[in-house]
């Protein structure tokens, strides 16, 4: 049974995207508006293709459906996670995601969207929107319907190496100049609260005010509860960044030989710096792969950093 599933990402072109995914990571994707690399995804909006090995050319969704033994025969009607690299040349919209219960009723059975960000790069003075300043539901509605965005939006400073958990109901936005690796539930449901009155093809992008008012949590959690400063770290370690009901996310710093136990189901892996080997297979910055249930022990070597995730 295959131990490594290497994936060819899919890409999303956006009004806020840029060129760094091609320039910094070597992806051969044309255009100057590349917003997202869906590095590990079986979602219908971006279903990645297996590269090499026994399943070369197979879509990840088909692999999940037809070869569940690769994933430890875990239950579920869809591959549960989605891993992206997001390049925000300009600010993303102020947005919020629903949880499973709300999405299941209002979005045709979709999963909700719990997500987290590992900050790959940020300019000096860089910020993210995490949370808001309304203290009651009444104040929330007044701020949003009245367009009191300066009062409503809460920005927090971030730097390279920070890690942020974004639970459903959390108002959030990636700001221009910030690049993140996002691990999330396999969902593409986003409710836009505000989009800076931007036009796309001459028209404002759709907002989702009523849905947003339904799902935004009030009051917002303090930013200190959301941000983990995970920059640096000890060479030759794998460190847990978050464990929640939907995923566990880890940071690996490989500096020479390193061995860890495999996962009984599967382990996602995205290399964001350096190069080396995994189970003797060469990997480099920008590679995305799944270490299957057959990999009972995982050996790393070389000099690289990666974000790992599993259910």
The three-state (H, E, C) secondary structure of 94-149, written as one string: EEECCCHHHHHHHCCCCCCCCEEEEEEECCCCCEEEEEECCCCHHHHHHHHHCCCH
Give pLDDT tens digits for 233-262: 899 999 999 999 999 999 999 999 999 999
Quote the pLDDT of residue 8: 98
22 is catalytic: no
Both 40 and 121 in a single domain? yes
Both 57 and 115 in a single domain? yes
Q: Cα–Cα distance between 207 and 213 in angstroms, integer?
A: 12
Direct distance between the N- and C-terminal alpha carbons of the chain, in angstroms, rounded to an integer: 21
**C-beta separation of 266 from 68 below 8 A:** no
Both 171 and 205 in a single domain? yes
Q: Cα–Cα distance between 63 and 52 in angstroms, integer?
A: 14
Both 224 and 277 in a single domain? no
Both 202 and 296 in a single domain? no
- The residue range of the domain holding 155 is 4-229
Both 217 and 288 in a single domain? no
Q: Which of 192, 198, 205, 217 is catalytic?
A: 192
Both 110 and 172 in a single domain? yes
Quote the pLDDT of residue 233: 86
Quote the pLDDT of residue 149: 97
Quote the pLDDT of residue 99: 98
Of 229, 257, 287, the position where a domain reaches its end is: 229
Domain count of the fold of the chain: 2
Q: What is the CATH number of the domain that holds 146?
A: 2.60.120.10
Both 27 and 155 in a single domain? yes
Both 178 and 89 in a single domain? yes
Q: Cα–Cα distance between 278 and 259 in angstroms, integer?
A: 10
Of 184, 209, 229, the position where a domain reaches its end is: 229
Both 127 and 191 in a single domain? yes
What's 186's DSSP letter?
Answer: S
Which residues of the chain, if any, have pLDDT below 70? none
Quote the pLDDT of residue 278: 98
């Amino acid at each position: 049974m295959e131990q490594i599933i290497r994936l060819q990402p899919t890409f999303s072109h956006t009004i806020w995207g840029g060129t760094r995914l091609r320039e910094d990571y070597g992806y051969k994707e044309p255009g100057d508006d590349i917003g997202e690399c869906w590095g590990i995804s079986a979602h219908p909006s971006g279903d990645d293709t297996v590269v090499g090995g026994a399943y070369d050319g197979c879509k990840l969704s088909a692999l999940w459906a037809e070869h569940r033994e690769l994933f430890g025969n875990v239950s579920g009607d869809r591959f549960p996670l989605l891993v992206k690299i997001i390049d925000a040349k300009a600010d993303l919209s102020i947005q919020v995601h629903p949880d499973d219960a709300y999405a299941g009723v209002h979005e045709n059975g979709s999963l909700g969207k719990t997500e987290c960000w590992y900050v790959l790069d940020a300019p000096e003075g860089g910020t993210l929107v995490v949370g808001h300043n309304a203290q009651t539901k009444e104040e929330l509605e007044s701020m949003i319907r009245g367009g009191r965005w300066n009062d409503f939006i809460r920005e927090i400073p971030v730097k390279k190496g920070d890690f942020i958990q974004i639970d459903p109901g959390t108002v959030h936005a990636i700001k221009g100049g910030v690049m993140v690796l996002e691990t999330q539930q396999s969902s593409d449901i986003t409710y836009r609260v505000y989009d800076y009155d931007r036009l796309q093809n001459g028209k404002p992008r759709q907002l989702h005010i009523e849905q947003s008012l339904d799902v935004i949590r009030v009051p917002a959690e303090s930013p200190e509860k959301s941000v983990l400063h995970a920059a640096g770290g000890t060479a030759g370690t794998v460190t847990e960044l978050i464990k929640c009901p939907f995923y566990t996310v880890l940071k690996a710093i490989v500096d020479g030989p390193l061995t860890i136990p495999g996962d009984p189901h599967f382990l996602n892996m995205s290399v964001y710096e350096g190069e080396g080997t995994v189970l003797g297979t060469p990997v480099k910055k920008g590679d995305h792969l799944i270490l299957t249930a057959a990999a009972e022990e995982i050996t790393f070597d070389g000099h690289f950093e990666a974000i790992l995730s599993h259910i």
